[in-house]
Amino acid sequence: MWIVRLALRRPYTFIVMAMLIAIGGVLTIARTPVDIFPEINIPVISVIWQFSGLSPNEVEGRMVTISERAMTTTVNSIEHIESQSIAGVGLIRVFFHPDASIGAADAEVTAINQTLLRSMPPGTTPPLIIRYSASNVPILQLALQSPTLSEQQLYDYGLNFIRTQLATVQGAQVPLPWGGKVRSVMVDLNPEALYAKGLSAFDVSAALGSQNVILPAGTAKIGPIEYNVRTNSSPDILETLNDLPVRQVGGATVYMRDVAQVRDGFQVQTNQVHVDGRRSALLTVLKTPTASTLDIVQRVKD
């Protein structure tokens, strides 16, 4: 019972130790993150290849298989790989062992897939590589609806205003909105007019790409001042695109308005969100693996 005799001889030492333990316990409880779900350590990295126009079989044979073979050769700590191929898109999920370093694995996956671009079909863009964790779960959903704003405006407002503000919330991840319509400049071709003028859709695309540009033209030194000179042919008003010349046919200039109509429209809509029977846009807020769900909810509200 030496510890009892020591406590009787030095009571103040044990009082101070007890106070430190009590204060440390209170601080630990206050700083311990409170969460609804436990942290699940299943490190996963997703590799997304995209190439418009390829069939699922071509995506699998010419992109997904090559990437899988390379990663199994050079990336360490792989537990297993899953893949899915659809028209124009190849999704590869690489599962790692729980004790693997996800940061090092991410770097290895990125490096090897960047070097594979030369083996892919010409024009393939670099893959989208996303680090995923089972603890990344949606905790909030924000529905955007308005009796006056269109679906394009709702999507644009959620993407460029609300999402950028939510991205600054510590521990939160905000993907692109669901629903709504992605605003885009659309060119409606007139097949009969194109045939009559001897033009094709490629001619219209080439005219837009070659004339709607901003190019640096160098500098001009006038006296002691040197000015930057730019060649700006990008119109400020959308309707001006209808006045772009497409080609000379039979000595006459064919303008865009003769074979097509440029308008402010939207891309093909692939998903819809309804709130109270009205089309809307939806923002989903995810949590990072180490963040507290309750803290993120409170920060979003603030």
Q: Tell me, yes or no, whether 294 and 167 share the same domain.
A: yes
Q: Tell me, yes or no, whether 60 and 163 share the same domain.
A: no
**For residue 229, what are the domain limits?**
187-261
3-state secondary structure 159-203: HHHHHHHHCCCCCEECCCCEECCCEEEEEEECHHHHHHHCCCHHH
Backbone angles phi, psi at 36, to 5 degrees: -85, -40
Residue 2 resides in a domain: no
Tell me whether residue 154 is exposed, middle or buried, using C-beta atoms within 10 angstroms of its C-beta: 0 to 12, 13 to 18, 19 or more: buried
Residue 112 resides in a domain: yes
Q: Tell me, yes or no, whether 84 and 212 share the same domain.
A: no
Q: Tell me, yes or no, whether 206 and 75 share the same domain.
A: no
Q: Tell me, yes or no, whether 49 and 122 share the same domain.
A: yes
Output the pLDDT for position 92: 93
Q: Tell me, yes or no, whether 111 and 257 share the same domain.
A: no
Residue 223 resides in a domain: yes
Domain of 85, CATH number, reads: 3.30.70.1430
Q: Tell me, yes or no, whether 251 and 287 share the same domain.
A: no
Output the pLDDT for position 64: 92
Output the pLDDT for position 34: 66
Residue 116 resides in a domain: yes
Name every residue whose Cβ is closer than 8 Å to that of residue 73 and which is 6 or more positions away in sequence.
none
Output the pLDDT for position 70: 92
Q: Tell me, yes or no, whether 288 and 175 share the same domain.
A: yes
| 3-class SS of residue 139 | strand
Residue 235 resides in a domain: yes
Q: Tell me, yes or no, whether 162 and 285 share the same domain.
A: yes
Per the structure, how many domains does the chain have?
Answer: 3
Domain of 142, CATH number, reads: 3.30.70.1320
Q: Tell me, yes or no, whether 154 and 276 share the same domain.
A: yes
pTM of the model: 0.63
Question: 274 forms bridges with which residues in the sheet?
Answer: 279
Output the pLDDT for position 134: 67
Residue 37 resides in a domain: no
Question: 226 forms bridges with which residues in the sheet?
Answer: 221
Residue 286 structure tokens = 């995810």
Rounded Cα–Cα distance for residues 166 and 173 (Å) = 8
Domain of 198, CATH number, reads: 3.30.2090.10
Cα angle: 194, vertex 196, 199; to 5 degrees = 40
Tell me whether residue 213 is exposed, middle or buried, using C-beta atoms within 10 angstroms of its C-beta: 0 to 12, 13 to 18, 19 or more: exposed
Nearest Cα to 117, choosing from 108, 127, 107, 109? 127
Q: Tell me, yes or no, whether 62 and 192 share the same domain.
A: no
Residue 111 resides in a domain: yes
Residue 137 structure tokens = 């779960």
Residue 26 resides in a domain: no
Output the pLDDT for position 235: 79
Q: Tell me, yes or no, whether 222 and 162 share the same domain.
A: no
How does pLDDT run along the chain (302 residues), one tens digit per residue?
Answer: 677 676 667 777 777 788 888 888 888 777 766 666 666 677 889 999 998 888 889 999 999 999 999 999 889 889 999 999 998 899 999 999 888 888 888 899 999 999 998 888 888 889 989 887 766 778 888 888 888 888 888 888 888 888 888 888 888 888 888 888 888 888 899 999 888 888 888 988 888 888 877 777 788 888 888 888 777 777 788 888 888 888 888 888 889 889 999 888 888 888 888 888 888 888 888 887 777 777 888 888 87
